[in-house]
Amino acid sequence: RKEVEQDPGPFNVPEGATVAFNCTYSNSASQSFFWYRQDCRKEPKLLMSVYSSGNEDGRFTAQLNRASQYISLLIRDSKLSDSATYLCVVNIVTGTASKLTFGTGTRLQVTL
């Protein structure tokens, strides 16, 4: 089983739609969680951290369910510019070292 699993997509949605991505992780020692966005042939960029209480940043809402080891990202009112691959990332701290584990990403294509 992969440490971080995501539906690879692609998700094809029309502009203005609401779309949700899910992610599950296997290591219960995971301590912090992130969503990164990666455009084609570019580096990943931090989209938002994910907190236990859930958090929102404009059109983006992230949720964490520690009991189910599940993370989600909701995008409302999708824009063409939201087209990208969204990476689910978990951080595991062992002693003084921390390690990020990346999902393979979910590809989103927003169309007119």
Partner 1 sequence: DGGITQSPKYLFRKEGQNVTLSCEQNLNHDAMYWYRQDPGQGLRLIYYSQIVNDFQKGDIAEGYSVSREKKESFPLTVTSAQKNPTAFYLCASKGGVQETQYFGPGTRLLVL
Structure tokens at 10: 């692609």
Choice from 10, 18, 46, 70 touching partner 1 (CB under 8 A):
46
96 binds partner 1 (CB under 8 A): yes
- Please state the closest distance from residue 112 (CB atom) to partner 1, in A: 27
From the list 21-29, 38-46, 62-70, 72-80, the region that binds partner 1 by CB under 8 A is: 38-46
Residues 6+ apart with CB under 8 A from 107: 8, 9, 10, 11, 84, 85, 86
- Please state the closest distance from residue 15 (CB atom) to partner 1, in A: 27
